[in-house]
Amino acid sequence: MKMKLQEVYSALKIQADEIPNVEITGVCFDSRKAKTGDLFFPLKGDRDGHEFIESAISNGATATVWQKDHEIVDKSIPYVVVDDVMKAFETLTKYYLAKVNPKVVAVTGSNGKTTTKDMIASILAVNNNVAKTPKNFNNEIGVPFTILNMPINTEVLVVEMGMDRPGQIDHLSGLAHPDVSVVTMIGEAHIEFFGTRDKIADAKMEITRHLQEDGLFIYDGDEPLLTERAEDVQRNKATFGEKETNTIYATTIESDKQKTSFKTNLWPEIEFTVPIMGDYNVNNAMAALLVGRRYHVQVENMQKALSDLYLTENRTEWLKARNGADILSDVYNSNPTAAAEVLNNLKKLSTGRKIVVLGDMLELGSASKQLHESLADHIDPKDFQKVYLVGNEMKALYDRLVTKYDPADLSWYSKEQLDKLTENLKEETNSNDTILLKASHGIHLENVLKELV
């Protein structure tokens, strides 16, 4: 971002007699991260953001916004008085997006959003100045923040969009007006708030409502919930998936701990490699390849971009335990689809004993018991020699597995028994083992991981 404060006033349609001649080079809403050049927006969260204006100033913010129903108590830096801070945030977002006028690629889905965003950005950066969502800043604050902080020379903006209620993606796509909309897949994430996968699909499809007239909709062609709804989208469409009816599909896939390689029907002789484990990442990569093809990136350059991929938030990572065991850690996120995928890929690895530590998958609502039980179809003693389950919801899976496992190889713990779990893992694992740790963040398996590595 780069504009004079005068231009901010103009964009927000605010009249003032004297406006300080200062330059704004970014926006922030977290006072702790304020820096010189930033315009601070005191957005309301658990607390009123106006409480943190002094902190933003002390950390270097160049100017701040004040909502007119708040008394201005610190005039040490320039300020902009607005009727509503959030509306001003969005108004400035729309103005700046129109000013820079990049092509916009919007990405959503129950799983794989962040990885797919990174893959798309890597591919498009071959030919373009690309900006992308930092980390997973994908909500009503994160999307405007992404837009307002893109460099003035941005040619393509890759925006991740998340949701936890109907209408949210409609609102976000209305801010961004994408040229390409991508839906990675429909899973059970946030089903507590939606009730059914059908309603999740309806909400994800909101990403097409503000798609440009000449835009492209890219989606999982193996998912009936998407293919049915895509019939009503009057835009260009392209699909990825396993079936040969898709625009792009994989003809071969090979995966190990550190990478996944595949070939496709569109470029039969080219082998693509991404530096992450999991067949499920092939769909994410194929979605990115379709975006690259849309913007005329040469296939050899797309191949290199994927192999050099840097993930901003690779939550699934390989670590080494103190006893020499390999640990596949994903202790911050879990849902039934993601858990099943990682289990299915882990069982393919030709290593020693495989040990599974699974914690509760949260926000599954009334379907929680059934969805936790469903993981039993992916867990068998021939593939996973020992299973440790944590949390009240995982008791349902434990009850399903007791008929398969010897009591010595199947354990259940409450979330208050992490110390006992840690102690047992230290006692019962060795250097030849591969250990999976996966749970929603609310179970706090990161505390177990910290003691093991």
Of 115, 238, 104, 237, the residue nearest 172 (C-alpha)? 104
CA distance 247 to 157: 24
- Ligand-binding site membership of 199 (annotated): no
- Does 337 count as an annotated binding residue? no
DSSP bridge pairs for 253: 262
Is 265 annotated to bind a ligand? Reply is no
Q: What is the DSSP letter of 50?
A: G
Smallest CA-to-CA distance from 309 within 111, 103, 105, 126 is with: 126
DSSP 80: E
List the one residue out of 156, 165, 154, 158 whose CA is nearest residue 136.
Answer: 158
Whether 357 and 438 have beta carbons less than 8 Å apart is answered as yes
115 is in an annotated binding site: yes
Q: How far apart are CA 235 and CA 215, in angstroms?
A: 6
Whether the CB-CB separation of 182 and 116 falls below 8 Å is answered with yes
Q: Which amino acid is at 38?
A: D
Q: Is 411 annotated as a binding residue?
A: no
User: How many Cβ atoms are within 10 Å of 68's Cβ, its own excluded?
Assistant: 11
- As to burial, measured by CB atoms within 10 angstroms (0-12 exposed, 13-18 middle, 19+ buried), residue 7 is middle
Report whether 153 belongs to an annotated binding site: no
- What tokens were used for 432? 């030849």
Give me 442's structure tokens. 């609310």
How far apart, in whole angstroms, are the C-alpha atoms of residue 453 and residue 441? 18
C-beta separation of 45 from 52 below 8 A? no
- Residue 114 assigned as binding residue: yes
**CA 88/CA 416 separation, integer angstroms:** 44
Taking only Cα atoms into account, the Rg of the chain, rounded to an integer number of angstroms, comes to: 24
Q: Whose CA is closest to 184, among 196, 172, 168, 200?
A: 200
91 vs 244: CA distance, rounded Å:
44
Q: Say which residue the tokens 């040469």 belong to.
A: 298
Which residues make up each annotated binding site? 109-115
Which residues make up each annotated binding site for ATP? 109-115
